[in-house]
A and B are shown apart, each in its own frame.
Chain A
Amino acid sequence: QSVLTQPPSVSGAPGQRVTISCTGSSSNIGAGYDVHWYQQLPGTAPKLLIYGSNNRPSGVPDRFSGSKSGTSASLAITGLQAEDEADYYCQSYDSLSDVVFGGGTKLTVL
């Protein structure tokens, strides 16, 4: 059972918009700690996608965006492309458990 809760799977057609939620608690996201998102393509290491809740590293398309409110955060992907099919993980810091990850969400592009 992960400290941060994500839906196991989401899907969307090319060109559509999808969102992935990440629900935490008062000891992590709700305490004001940043949320970071990672994309993991099959057979590869995770890649930083969003940091500080809503910032994109250089090279990440602006189709990807993040937000945070209360004890939850979300990753939004617009203009869905086949290459976006991957696993997505949220990550934060928890005052009781140190670094915590969500269980991961598998994105399927239909």
Chain B
Amino acid sequence: QVQLVESGGGVVQPGGSLRLSCAASRFTFSNYGMHWVRQAPGKGLEWVAVISYDGNNKYYADSVKGRFTISRDNSKNTLYLQMNSLRAEDTAVYYCAKVSQGSYWYEGNFDYWGQGTLVTVSS
């Protein structure tokens, strides 16, 4: 069974930085596009960023563009999200999500999600 395990969340002050990781296992990680999706407390799902299977293509939501960077290390089966210049409105549970086989890497259709990691931006 596919496993996605996020880590790296925590409490950070406004303006601070944090790097999230998503360890993938039990599937060929290098074959799939991967996304980050977040959910603020009591709110809905918000797409954050996507990276292609080879890491060569990346897209971001306007709300995080210029502040967040998505990356991956296919040799370590790990996805990352570097978050800089954090704001209170970035407070959320961050999920990594795998694109389903047969779907375009950028379009969504997430067949597996991690359990999420909570990021709290507060002074």
Contacts and interface: CB of A to CB of B under 8 A. Distances in A.
Interface of A: 2, 33-34, 36, 38, 40, 45-48, 51-52, 57, 87, 89, 91-93, 97-104
B26 to A, nearest CB: 16
A99 B116 contact: no
Interface residues of B, number: 25
The interface residues of chain A, by DSSP majority, are classed as: strand
Interface string B86-116: 0000000001000010011011111111111
A45 to B, nearest CB: 4
Given A36-B108, A99-B106, 16 more contacts: A34-B103, A38-B45, A45-B114, A45-B116, A46-B95, A48-B112, A51-B103, A91-B45, A91-B110, A98-B61, A99-B47, A99-B107, A99-B108, A100-B47, A101-B44, A101-B47
Contacts of A93: 104, 106-108
